[in-house]
A = this chain, B = another copy of it.
Amino acid sequence: MKRTSRDIRTANRYEVLRQIIAESPTSRQELAAATGLSLATVATLVGELLDLRMITEVGFEDSAGGRPRGLVAVNASGGALIGVDIAETYVHVELFDLALNVLARADEDMRPGESLPEQVVSHVAAAVGSVVAQAGIEGARVLGVGVSVPGQVNRDTGISEYAPNWDWHDVPLLDLLSEVIAYPLYLDNPLRAGAVAEMWFGAARGRGDAVVVNLGTGVGAGLALGGGLYRGVSNSAGEWGHTTLVLDGRLCRCGNHGCVEAYVGAPGIMLNLRELSPQSPLLHPEDQTATIDALARGVSAGDPVAVKVVRETARYVGAGIANLVNVLNPEIVVLSSWVARSLGEPLLHEVREAVGRHALPRPMAATRIVLSPIPTDPACLGAATFALEGALQSVGQRKAPSAKRAAPARAGRTAPPS
């Protein structure tokens, strides 16, 4: 919670690597200009990243009248990162190079009823094995595996404290995963994974205070405040989905009434549709994705029921986002996850109008509201980024980036000898 000089050094290391990933090749001078760090600090951090083989020297550029400047670029093949997105109905896994290009993907569907931790873990292990095999890389080059699992997560102990979709309580997920996956493991939830993905590669890059609103089956907000991920005292900040918007309103699955999620989570949107038009052909009672996609197509086609449902949903989303704008005064609000992607620009347009009706003018004027620009699964990308951050955080604690058994203190977990 309290930030130390060590946190600052780690944050600076992230920032330099972020900049190199965004703009390769680049010089130390350009990095200093882009990050606001001193040239001496940049030189030190670049040296560390070169030692880790995360970046390489790629030649020189002329500088006007001066000595040629050394250029560095991200060393895409210097290692691999794996992101795991565990959702209610599927496990999605992507393997990235260090430039965060996707080299391989694997999906595992989970059948209804498949909710035991051991079942989920075996799907994850299969998909991780699949992407490593597809990419044809040596295991030693995998720097780490980030895992996103819904609900309350204790990232230090690796325990899934509460997963509402499966009613998990205190499942030692990282211990179970480490029995079948021999790479350093990092656990967190999709809200924080989404926020980190936006901070590194998306709309929150270079923004001081950002809110990443996840609109999916469940809803919540990842908070990137003061240039870093905000977690709260027990790593459960961001439960915007369970803030009360309509006192004594609809019953929510959390037991409270009138939560944001009860109106704007995918099941809530289906209920909005059912209340407006019980017999609507847009409604696929057992299929959230099909219903949301039908709504999106309906809006494109000018179907008045679809338009009205999206407007009504946006009214709730907008009032809820206005609450975040008033409390947090962010520079940017990013709409992410599959419902936001499916409903897209029409939803964004209505949400902006609704936020404008509810937020105070001053914080409203300071805020932009955008759709996530990340084209792939943000939870996967964010989870992989946790693994990248883990590797960067352990600088000085271990020499080679692939030393699988070194345990970075508190940052992640490492596989036991297997």
Chain A residues proximal to chain B, CB less than 8 Å: 1-5, 8, 11, 36, 152, 161-162, 208-209, 221, 223, 225-228, 230-240, 242-247, 249, 254, 256, 316, 319-320, 322-324, 326-331, 357-358, 360-363, 365-367
Our pick among B233, B239, B240, B243 for the contact of A208 (Cβ within 8 Å) is B233
A331 to B232, CA, bound (A): 8
Q: How far, in angstroms, from A102 to B70 measured CA to CA in the complex?
A: 60
**Identical chains in the assembly:** 2
- B245 near A366 with CB under 8 A, answer no
A109 to chain B, nearest CB (A): 29
Determine which of B5, B246, B331 lies in contact with A247 in the assembled complex, contact meaning CB atoms within 8 Å.
Answer: B246
- A326 near B1 (CB under 8 angstroms)? no
Residue of A1, A8, A324, A362 ringed by the most chain B CB atoms within 10 A:
A362
Verify B363–A236 contact, CB threshold 8 A: yes
Cβ contacts under 8 Å, A331 to chain B: 233
User: Contact: A322 with B244, CB < 8 Å?
Assistant: yes
A3 touches B322 (CB 8 A): no
Most buried by B among A11, A161, A247, A320: A247
Q: Which residues of B contact A8 (CB under 8 A)?
A: 3-5, 8
Q: Can you list 23 A-B pairs, Cβ within 8 angstroms, ordered by A?
A: A1-B209, A1-B226, A2-B11, A2-B208, A2-B227, A225-B226, A233-B330, A233-B331, A233-B366, A234-B329, A234-B363, A236-B362, A238-B327, A240-B326, A242-B326, A242-B360, A243-B327, A244-B245, A245-B245, A245-B247, A247-B319, A254-B360, A256-B322
Are the C-beta atoms of A329 and B232 separated by less than 8 Å?
A: yes
A195–chain B nearest beta-carbon distance, Å:
13
When the two chains form their complex, are residues B1 and A3 in contact, meaning their CB atoms are under 8 A apart?
A: no
Cross-interface CB contact of A366 among B2, B234, B238, B328, cutoff 8 Å? B234
Name the B residues within 8 Å of A324 (CB-CB): 327
Interface centre among A5, A225, A227, A233 (most CB of B within 10 A): A233
**Which residue of the partner chain, among B2, B208, B231, B360, contacts A236 with CB atoms under 8 Å?**
B360
- Return chain B residues, CB-CB under 8 Å to A316: 247
Across the interface, which residues of B come within 8 angstroms of A254, CB to CB?
A: 360
A208 x B1 contact (CB < 8 A):
yes
Once the chains bind, are A329 and B3 in contact (CB under 8 Å)?
no
- Point out the residues of chain B lying under 8 angstroms from A11, CB to CB: 2-3
Report yes or no: A162 in contact with B362, Cβ–Cβ below 8 A: yes
**A209 contacts which chain B residues (CB < 8 A)?**
1, 232-233
Whether B360 lies near A323 (C-beta < 8 A) is no
Q: Which 8 A-B pairs have the closest CB atoms?
A: A232-B329, A1-B208, A243-B323, A237-B329, A239-B326, A234-B366, A2-B227, A233-B331
- CB A264 to nearest CB in B, in angstroms, measures 12
Chain B residues with Cβ below 8 Å from A227 are 1-3
Chain B CB count within 10 A is highest, among A161, A246, A323, for: A323
**Cβ–Cβ contact A358 & B161, under 8 A:** no
Q: How far is the CA of A203 from the CA of B91 in the complex (A)?
A: 44
Query: How far is A162 from B1 in the complex, measured between Cα atoms in Å?
Result: 32
Contact of A358 among B244, B323, B330 (CB under 8 A): B244
Min CB–CB distance A9 → chain B (angstroms): 9
Complex: A147 Cα to B108 Cα, angstroms: 60
Residues of B contacting A256 in the complex (Cβ-Cβ under 8 angstroms): 322, 357-358
Query: A319's closest neighbor in chain B, by CB?
Result: B244
Contacts of A233 in B (CB 8 A): 208-209, 329-331, 366-367
The closest CB in chain B to the CB of A316 belongs to B247
Residue of B nearest to A357 (CB): B256
Chain B residues contacting A323 (CB-CB under 8 Å) are: 243-244, 323
Alpha-carbon separation in the docked complex, A230 to B415 (Å): 38
- Are B329 and A236 within 8 A (Cβ)? yes
Q: Do A328 and B237 form a contact, CB below 8 Å, given A226-B226, A242-B360, A362-B161?
A: yes
Among the listed B230, B234, B357, which residue makes an inter-chain contact with A225, where contact means beta carbons less than 8 Å apart? B230
